[in-house]
Structure 1
Amino acid sequence: MAPDLYKGPPRALCTYITIFLLLIGVTALTLWLVYRPHKPQFKVVGAAVYEFNMSTPPLISTTMQFTVITRNPNKRVSVYYDKLSTFVSYKNVPITPLVMLPPLYHRKHSTVAVSPVVGGTAVPVSLDVANGLVMDTAYGVVGLRLVFFGRLRWKAGAIKTEHYRVYVKCDVLVGLKKGFVGQVPLLGATPGCKVDI
């Protein structure tokens, strides 16, 4: 019977490999804790309505502009919005067509104001939505949702992440009366928008 010549790797080699893997893990964890990106923050601070017409069959033609403050809370990470679109909805039904926005670059720990103009084309809506808008404009209070969606990536130094989908919902109450054109007041406290990534 031949003697077993293989006795396994030397104990020192196993120790070095274990220490090396632990160091890589600790380094990766430290980098993640230092550079982990936080979600950007959005808040609507102004609104204007330049057109708001209803027709039969139920079509709504509106042109609106919202001023939105978006903040990058990261001190070491920049944000790139490569594709970003927006529209306005009422009771979860779009009342404006989709508008593509230009790419947006958000420096580290910075705040940017964007003022997209949405609408301009008639959009078909259900009779319930049309009646709800007629009643709300008669009262002078309309609940709207400004939606942003697209793709973003984070950049820390020379490292860029893969693309992530971003979905932002901004719920606002505006003081809108039928026939009024121009700046409309935001009613009540306007909370920050909900950002899902």
Structure 2
Amino acid sequence: MAERIYPSAKPNPHPPTSAPNGGAAPPSFPANKAQAYGRPMYRPQPGKQQQRRRRGGGRGCCCSLCLWLTLILIAALLLAAIAGGVFYVLYRPHRPTFTVSSLRLSQLNLTSPSAVASRLDLSITARNPNRKVEFAYDPVSVSVYSGDVHLGDGTFPPFLHEARNTTVLKTTVSSAAGESVDASAASGLKKKSTIPLAIELDTRAGVRVGKLKTKKIGIRVRCEGVSVPVPKNKKGAAAAAATTPDVSCKVKLRIKIWKWTI
């Protein structure tokens, strides 16, 4: 016998809908998790997107600013290098030179086991080899040492060092009253017939080329290798001159950056 098929008694909750104009109905898709659990779908807020766009625009402005600053710095360095090259070709600048032309130790006494009284007559010759470059010096402070023993201080007045000029600077260097030094080092000075000396000159100098003037910077001149005889403290005895005159000195720039001097 043929098997009979009976229609289902349960109604279809989602009957197929017919498309307009008699066409086929669109296919139905299964519900997603948000629809199945009754949760609203997540949609990005437009405000956050605008904030991201604004942040991206700010980064672009910073990058552009850094790029322009770098280009300006490179251009300034190139211009400075070109100006320095032109200045060197036109004027051929050279450093001034300093030599110890004369030095006499007229007094060296031990007033106490740890105090020294000294007196020196010092002459320094400064030469400017440049043809068009001048140097303007502030007052020059002078300090004389023998090893670790400080023998005294002096000063040179300010002066203008003109081009192709030789200037002789003279001063008297003496120790301060009651200046204490190391006792063993001080007693060792009197036992020697000659003592080595080191001379330091500290000042500030600027460059002048015609009407152009530069800012003054610190310089230090150090003279080493000078030896003088120790006076014997005899009445009527003249002070002996240095045994090594015309000693050349080294000139160094002293540039101050904030709290440091290099």
TM-score where L is the length of structure 2? 0.59
Aligned to 1:177: 231
Partners of 1:166 and 1:196 within 8 A in 2 = yes
Of the three residues 24, 31, 39, the one matched with 2:95 is 39
Q: What RMSD, in angstroms, separates the aligned Cα atoms of the two structures? A: 2.4
Question: Structure 2 regions of 5+ residues with no counterpart?
Answer: 1-77, 254-262
Aligned to 1:59: 115
Aligned to 1:154: 207
Partners of 2:105 and 2:228 within 8 A in 1 = no
Aligned to 1:71: 127
| CA-CA distance at 1:121 after TM superposition | 2.8
Highest RCO, 1 vs 2 (Cα 8 Å, sep ≥ 6): 1
1:113 aligned to 2:113?
A: no
Question: Structure 1 regions of 5+ residues with no counterpart?
Answer: 1-21
Distance in 1 between residues matched to 2:111 and 2:154, nearest whole Å: 22
Among the aligned pairs, what percent are the same residue?
Answer: 26
Distance in 1 between residues matched to 2:83 and 2:233, nearest whole Å: 62
Larger Rg: 2
Greater share of strand residues, 1 or 2?
1
Distance in 2 between residues matched to 1:38 and 1:166, nearest whole Å: 15
Seen in structure 2, the aligned counterparts of structure 1 residues 24 and 87 have a Cα distance that, compared at 3 Å, is: closer
Return the letter of the residue paired with 2:231.
Answer: K
Partners of 1:53 and 1:60 within 8 A in 2 = yes
Seen in structure 2, the aligned counterparts of structure 1 residues 27 and 68 have a Cα distance that, compared at 3 Å, is: closer
Partners of 1:82 and 1:152 within 8 A in 2 = yes
The total of aligned residue pairs comes to: 172
TM-score where L is the length of structure 1? 0.77
Aligned to 2:247: 191
Aligned to 1:128: 184
Q: Any idea what SS the aligned residue of 2:187 has?
A: helix
Distance in 2 between residues matched to 1:80 and 1:53, nearest whole Å: 37
Aligned to 2:194: 141
Distance in 2 between residues matched to 1:162 and 1:75, nearest whole Å: 20
